[in-house]
């Protein structure tokens, strides 16, 4: 099924890290067919859109983009356009897209990525419009080619799907039930990344802390981390996302014991009110979360805790929101992704009659963002004068004159250094801080 003459592809990705990784698999499959990466969609013979449906704002952007792709197809009728990912895993949406956008050649769900070569081939030859979709995954897609965007940092999924069914969230419906990859497969993948010069691996899962529950070999997440940190020689190991309810004391011990594991924990809290947490089906309360954070801060010096927070969940009162604000001030998160609750069709919370009025949501998110930004800036400013280990990743996207990298705590650092190259891990003294990044100078002997 190799493409004869030189043809190009372009993948456009929306959504979370899991989608970023899936796009790397899509790219891998296309390159295996002989396609080459095009920087611009204008230059591509195949365009893929990998979609997200976690919030309406994402869906709106995607619909706008798909609409705009029509002009490319008009200009170059041989162009093949496919849409996949979480949005199209909702069968009704997939069908709606097929009807509304005749310029789409094929549509596929999250469980059908491996069928891409076939879908493209059929679109190339038959020109029949296709919909590849299945309700649930049949097993794990091992052994697919991956074309990674970076040669320094890699995503490695350790499990797919989610069993938690938080009442606001669409993810379990579009990603299926939890399926853990076998430890041996993950070990092999990380080892091969290390051999190819990768410095950092981020383990991916919707709830990494429940890794292994579906396996028969007794392996859990703390065990997997110990295995990877001990047996692969990777310089840096990270993981997202940790569900607070499953964050075990074991995990704190492993983080303390293994120097490769970075001092950063993304621990989405979602809300600070017990009543709201219960209605969200988060299965922990405020007191539990606060004591977990206290333990983490005490046991892992210098750790950065980041979070996801939502405002305007149905029935959220001023008092509930005040509890969220209080929690934010107490924890002092290094950073937070902050969202306005958005009803998702098919989820329990979307059916509730007590939706919060838009203007109340807007006022709450504004207050939350202001407070969290102040905290983030204060914490960043406190870094000035300290030395951080920075993994240098390349030239800065916003400031091409300088290099950019991340601390172990996952803060962006801009730095200058004549003898420093991407992939180097250097101690950097922080000289300036803003809300979104730090600036620094390599300590003497490393510049
Ligand atoms: N698996 C991760 C997050 C998945 S979705 C976890 O359990 O934390 C990423 C974030 O999107 C969530 O943490 C939540 O804050 C937000 N989110 C999910 N559904 C949403 C909705 N309906 N409206 C607004 N934000 C939502
Ligand atoms: Fe969604 Fe909750 Fe699963 Fe995260 S844990 S993906 S928020 S259902
Ligand atoms: Fe979006 Fe799917 Fe991720 S809905 S957040 S791309 S799992």
Q: How confident is the model at residue 4 (pLDDT cuts 50, 70, 90)?
A: low
Share of the chain above pLDDT 90, in %: 90
Which of ligand 1's atoms lies nearest the C-alpha of 164?
7
Task: Please compute the mean of the pLDDT values over residues 340-369 and round it to a whole number.
Answer: 98
Q: Which residues contact 327 (CB under 8 A, 6 or more apart)?
A: 269, 272, 286, 289, 290
From first CA to last CA, the distance across the chain in angstroms is 49
Closest CA to 208 of 167, 254, 149: 254
CB 51 within 8 A of CB 83: yes
User: What was the pLDDT predicted at 138?
Assistant: 65
Please report the domains of the chain, with CATH numbers, ordered by start residue: 7-132 (3.40.50.12160), 153-381 (3.80.30.20), 387-442 (2.40.50.140)
User: What was the pLDDT predicted at 237?
Assistant: 98
Peptide bond into 241 cis (omega under 30): yes
For atom 5 of ligand 2, which residue has the closest CA?
A: 164
pLDDT, tens only, 261-289: 999 999 999 999 999 999 999 999 999 99
Which of ligand 2's atoms lies nearest the C-alpha of 281?
2
User: What was the pLDDT predicted at 398?
Assistant: 83
Q: How confident is the model at residue 5 (pLDDT cuts 50, 70, 90)?
A: low
Torsion of CA 90, 266, 14, 39, to 10 degrees: -150
Q: How far is CA 116 from CA 111, 149, 176, 226, 433, in A?
A: 11, 19, 19, 35, 45
pLDDT, tens only, 33-62: 999 999 999 999 999 999 999 999 999 999
Q: How far apart are CA 169 and CA 173, in angstroms?
A: 8
User: What was the pLDDT predicted at 191?
Assistant: 98
For atom 1 of ligand 2, which residue has the closest CA?
A: 169
Burial track 281-305 (b if 16+ CB lie within 10 A, e otherwise): ebebebebbeebbeebeeebeebbb
Where residue 281 falls (left for φ over 0; alpha for ψ -120 to 50; beta otherwise) is: left
User: What was the pLDDT predicted at 1?
Assistant: 56
User: What was the pLDDT predicted at 126?
Assistant: 74
User: What was the pLDDT predicted at 141?
Assistant: 79
CB 214 within 8 A of CB 179: yes
Cβ < 6 A, ligand 1 pocket: 54-55, 168-169, 171, 206-207, 241, 243, 268, 270, 308, 310, 339, 341-342, 344
Question: 59 C-alpha vs ligand 1 centroid, how far in Å?
Answer: 14
User: Does 3 score more than 90 pLDDT?
Assistant: no
Q: How far apart are CA 333 and CA 350, in angstroms?
A: 29
pLDDT, tens only, 186-215: 999 999 999 999 999 999 999 999 999 999
Residue with tokens 């892992």: 300
Which of ligand 3's atoms lies nearest the C-alpha of 18?
3
CB atoms within 10 A of CB 135: 9
Task: Please compute the mean of the pLDDT values over residues 431-436 and round it to a whole number.
Answer: 98
Q: What is the pTM of this model?
A: 0.96
Q: Token digits for 271?
A: 């809300």
User: What was the pLDDT predicted at 129?
Assistant: 74
Ligand nearest to the CA of 162: 2
Beta bridge partners of 95: none
Q: How far apart are CA 259 and CA 330, in angstroms?
A: 28
Q: How far is CA 58 from CA 13, 96, 138, in A?
A: 11, 17, 28
User: What was the pLDDT predicted at 127?
Assistant: 64
């Amino acid at each position: 099924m190799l493409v004869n003459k030189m043809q190009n592809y372009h993948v456009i990705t929306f959504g979370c890290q899991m989608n970023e990784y899936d796009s790397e698999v899509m790219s891998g499959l296309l390159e295996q067919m002989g396609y080459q990466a095009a920087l611009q969609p204008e230059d591509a013979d195949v365009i893929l859109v990998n979609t997200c449906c976690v919030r309406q704002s994402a869906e709106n952007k995607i619909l706008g983009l798909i609409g705009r792709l029509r002009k490319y197809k008009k200009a170059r009728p041989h162009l093949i356009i496919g849409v996949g990912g979480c949005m199209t895993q909702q069968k009704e949406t997939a069908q709606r897209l097929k009807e509304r956008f005749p310029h789409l050649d094929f549509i596929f769900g999250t469980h059908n990525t491996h069928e891409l070569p076939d879908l493209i081939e059929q679109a190339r030859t038959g020109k029949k419009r296709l919909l590849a979709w299945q309700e649930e995954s049949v097993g794990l897609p091992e052994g697919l080619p991956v074309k990674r965007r970076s040669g320094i940092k890699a995503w490695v999924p350790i499990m797919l799907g989610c069993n938690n069914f938080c009442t606001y969230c669409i993810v379990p419906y579009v990603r299926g039930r939890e399926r853990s990859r076998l430890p041996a497969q993950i070990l092999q993948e990380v080892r091969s990344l290390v051999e190819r010069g990768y410095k950092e691996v981020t383990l991916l899962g919707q709830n990494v802390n429940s890794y292994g529950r579906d396996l028969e070999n007794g392996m859990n997440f703390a065990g997997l981390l110990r295995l990877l940190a001990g047996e692969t020689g990777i310089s840096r190991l990270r993981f997202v996302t940790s569900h607070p309810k499953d964050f075990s004391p074991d995990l704190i011990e492993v983080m303390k014991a293994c120097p490769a594991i970075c001092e950063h924990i993304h621990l989405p809290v979602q809300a600070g009110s017990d009543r709201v947490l219960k209605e969200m089906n988060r299965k922990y309360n405020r007191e539990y979360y606060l004591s977990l954070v206290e333990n983490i801060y005490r046991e892992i010096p210098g750790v950065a805790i980041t979070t996801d927070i939502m405002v305007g969940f149905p029935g959220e009162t001023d008092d509930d929101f005040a509890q969220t604000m209080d929690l934010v001030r107490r924890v002092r998160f290094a950073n937070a992704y902050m969202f306005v609750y958005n009803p998702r069709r098919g989820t329990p919370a979307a059916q509730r009659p007590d939706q919060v009025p838009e203007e109340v949501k807007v006022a709450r998110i504004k207050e939350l963002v202001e407070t969290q930004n102040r905290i983030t800036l204060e914490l960043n400013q406190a870094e000035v004068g300290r030395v951080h280990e920075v993994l240098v990743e390349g030239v800065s996207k916003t400031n091409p004159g300088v290099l950019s990298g991340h601390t172990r705590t996952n803060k962006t650092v801009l730095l200058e250094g004549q003898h420093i190259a991407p992939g180097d891990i250097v101690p950097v003294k922080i000289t300036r801080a803003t809300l979104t990044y730090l600036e620094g100078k390599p300590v003497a002997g490393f510049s």
